[in-house]
């Protein structure tokens, strides 16, 4: 019997249903929730995100989700951040002023400065794998994934960078730290590569 249960944290922003459906397609139980007990009891937790950094942090605070998220991060259970869900894990973001994040990963979120390239960075782009982590196991060297973002994470410790991507310069497209894997791209929109990544995450213990 499959004992994996995945809590997808609902703070009123983000493509929650598409993330949930991707896990369900792989045969896993995924619950969209803002209930502390469900987040605590789940074997895995996912923090998705679409929108502006300060709005998301306000929603997390208003809904009383900051402490449950921090407890999930500290519990050692596999934790996945997606897009803005990656950025929220850092210390601060410069989006619409300077705003504090969850502070789990020391670093800052900054805006693209790409010259003639359009911002937001939108569409398919390639991952360059920088370190071997379980969530990336089996991904091809030229894996293509789907992005939609104007800001990106700069961790204080470059050793946390799991993949990089080039868009007017190299940026961290995913970060791995202990039980946490967080990606700037959208695995739920990245077809077979994204499903492989989500399956790897669900198989983590």
Respond yes or no: is residue 44 known to be catalytic.
no
User: Which residues face 107 on adjacent strands?
Assistant: 155
Respond yes or no: is residue 186 known to be catalytic.
yes
What values do phi and psi take at 135, rounded to 5?
-65, -25
Q: Exactly one of 95, 183, 186, 204 is catalytic; which is it? A: 186
Q: Exactly one of 56, 83, 183, 204 is catalytic; which is it? A: 83
Beta strand 99-100 with 90-93: parallel, antiparallel or unpaired?
antiparallel
DSSP string, 85-145: HHHTTEEEE-TTS-EE---SEEEEEEE---TTS-SSEEEEEE-EE-S--GGGTT--TT-EE
Q: Exactly one of 56, 149, 188, 204 is catalytic; which is it? A: 188
Respond yes or no: is residue 83 known to be catalytic.
yes
Instruction: List residues with catalytic annotation.
Output: 83, 186, 188
């Amino acid at each position: 019997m499959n004992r994996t249960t995945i809590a997808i944290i609902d703070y009123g922003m983000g493509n929650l249903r598409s993330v949930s459906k991707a896990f369900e397609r792989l045969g896993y139980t995924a619950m969209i929730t803002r209930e502390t007990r469900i987040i605590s009891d789940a074997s895995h937790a996912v923090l998705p995100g679409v929108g502006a950094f300060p709005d998301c942090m306000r929603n997390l605070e208003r809904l009383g989700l900051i402490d449950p998220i921090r407890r999930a991060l500290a519990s050692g259970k596999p934790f996945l951040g997606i897009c803005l869900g990656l950025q929220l894990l850092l210390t601060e973001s410069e989006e619409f002023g300077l705003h504090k994040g969850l502070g789990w990963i020391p670093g800052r979120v900054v805006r693209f400065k790409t010259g003639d390239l359009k911002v937001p960075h939108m569409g398919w782009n390639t991952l360059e794998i920088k370190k071997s982590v379980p969530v990336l196991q089996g991904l091809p060297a030229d894996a293509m994934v789907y992005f939609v973002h104007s800001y990106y994470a700069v961790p204080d410790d470059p050793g946390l960078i799991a993949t990089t991507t080039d868009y007017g310069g190299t940026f961290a497209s995913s970060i791995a730290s202990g039980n946490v894997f967080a990606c700037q791209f959208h695995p739920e929109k990245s077809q077979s590569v994204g499903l492989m990544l989500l399956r790897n995450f669900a198989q983590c213990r």
